[in-house]
Amino acid sequence: MTADLFSPTKLGSIALKNRIAMAPLTRNRAGQGNVPQLINAEYYAQRASAGLLITEATPISATAHGYPATPGIHDSEQVEGWKQVTAAVHAKGGKIVLQLWHVGRISHPSLQPGHALPVAPSAIKPAGQAFTYEGLQDFVTPRALSIEELPGIVADYARATQNALDAGFDGVEVHAANGYLLDQFLRDGTNHRTDEYGGSMENRTRLLLEVTKAVVEVAGADRVGVRISPLNPFNDISDSNPQALFNHVADSLNPFGLAYLHVVEGGMGGDNLPAFDFAALRRHFHGSYIANLGYDKAKGNAAIASGHADVVAYGALYIANPDLVARFQQDAPLNAPDHATFYGGDAKGYTDYPTLQG
């Protein structure tokens, strides 16, 4: 029998009851101190029929933050808050991994400890504006990290991974996508370093590999995924040769034996994307593959049947359809997502989307 979205599978040692994942989604509804609340547990538990839930991007340190009310994984109160989430998801038979996040230059002094400058591979200001507690404010020129500071960043990832395991997560996903810190190191548009972390593709990939190694040492490779977005221009990111770069990234990740590689197969806003061969990228990676962006049920099933993807992640559809698995199974109509309530607010547009049962 051919596998489809409803077939069980395993990503590393994480057993999934189906191949439908909830993509990581920033919702800006953490409480004081960026601590997860009961309402966040309710939101994830409502979606626990997914084969795998991937949390919203979760800052690994105080300097990793770039948006209001994003739940962290760097202090004990946050770990306690996340325990409510993992317990609620596990009580419903779900699996959940935490996405480890450092925003790099996509931040603002008002969101940084001591109102310091955000950090980045190089002192290059992104175009656009930061979302702050005081509204939109222009991005600033970040401070380039010194080479001596990089082991500390790697250590922050390792400690956040231990915190995630302590909080009861089934694994972690390293966020190397969407123009945040690790992606800023990968790309030659944002990485102008002249040390061993800049220049060649090998050098630009170095920090990602060091972070992955450190995270794997804590969690085990069979509980670690990595997310990349080769084409996404989001957050003013660019590279002169994304195909070569990300083929190299996939090759370099192979020796770890990771649970999965998760690929954003397009751009979030912005047209005129260069050509990119995701099938070629997929062939470079020898482990399991999660495909994301622009999939519906038919495209998801086709990607699994063809062997392109092992699991398909759904984002906006999961915001609006807590019972997406049942709706796909029954070919039931889907709720439309309400964009006005994506980022911040309360239960409206968060935990109040109806299921087929009402």
Distance separating alpha carbons of residues 117 and 143, to the nearest angstrom = 6
- Nearest-approach distance from CB 273 to ligand PHB, in angstroms: 16
By the rule CB under 6 A, 247 interacts with ligand PHB: no
In the structure encoding, which two tokens stand for residue 264, read together?
């954003």
Which CB atom, from 46 or from 229, has the smaller least distance to ligand PHB? 229
- Nearest-approach distance from CB 66 to ligand PHB, in angstroms: 8
- Nearest-approach distance from CB 26 to ligand PHB, in angstroms: 3
In the structure encoding, which two tokens stand for residue 89, read together?
């998801």
How many residues of this chain interact with ligand PHB, rule: CB under 6 A? 5
Q: List the one residue from 97, 111, 177, 281 that touches ligand PHB (CB under 6 A).
A: 177
User: Is the Cβ–Cβ distance between 168 and 90 less than 8 Å?
Assistant: yes
**Taking CB under 6 A as the rule, which mask of x and - marks residues 52-91 in contact with ligand PHB?**
-----x---------x------------------------
The type of residue at 76 is: S
Distance separating alpha carbons of residues 113 and 128, to the nearest angstrom = 22
What is the CA angle 220-224-226, rounded to 5?
145
The type of residue at 235 is: N
Which CB atom, from 49 or from 178, has the smaller least distance to ligand PHB? 178
Distance separating alpha carbons of residues 104 and 127, to the nearest angstrom = 14
**Taking CB under 6 A as the rule, which mask of x and - marks residues 129-168 in contact with ligand PHB?**
----------------------------------------
Q: List the one residue from 18, 58, 84, 178 that touches ligand PHB (CB under 6 A).
A: 178
What is the CA angle 124-70-229, rounded to 5?
55
Residue 268 Cα to chain centre, angstroms: 14
- Nearest-approach distance from CB 103 to ligand PHB, in angstroms: 8
Residue 320 Cα to chain centre, angstroms: 19
Which CB atom, from 261 or from 325, has the smaller least distance to ligand PHB? 261
What is the CA angle 149-220-47, rounded to 5?
100
C-alpha separations of 83 from 159, 267, 315, 355 in Å: 16, 33, 23, 25
Helix/strand/coil for 303: helix
Helix axis angle, 242-253 to 201-219, nearest 10°: 30
- Nearest-approach distance from CB 183 to ligand PHB, in angstroms: 9
Q: List the one residue from 19, 22, 26, 111 that touches ligand PHB (CB under 6 A).
A: 26
Which CB atom, from 103 or from 224, has the smaller least distance to ligand PHB? 103
- Of 313-332, binders to ligand PHB (CB under 6 A) are none
Q: Which of the residues 44, 180, 260, 295 is marked catalytic?
A: 180
User: Is the Cβ–Cβ distance between 46 and 351 less than 8 Å?
Assistant: yes
C-alpha separations of 251 from 87, 100, 341 in Å: 36, 22, 39
- Nearest-approach distance from CB 262 to ligand PHB, in angstroms: 11
Residue 314: active-site member:
no
Which CB atom, from 267 or from 327, has the smaller least distance to ligand PHB? 267
In the structure encoding, which two tokens stand for residue 229, read together?
């977005």
Closest-by-Cβ residue to ligand PHB is: 26
- Nearest-approach distance from CB 56 to ligand PHB, in angstroms: 8
Q: Please tell me the chain's helix, strand, coil percentages from 3-state DSSP, rounded to the nearest 5.
A: 35, 15, 45
- Of 225-244, binders to ligand PHB (CB under 6 A) are none
Which CB atom, from 121 or from 304, has the smaller least distance to ligand PHB? 121
Which CB atom, from 86 or from 178, has the smaller least distance to ligand PHB? 178
**Would you tell me which residues interact with ligand PHB (CB under 6 A)?**
26, 57, 67, 177-178
Catalytic residue positions, numbered: 180
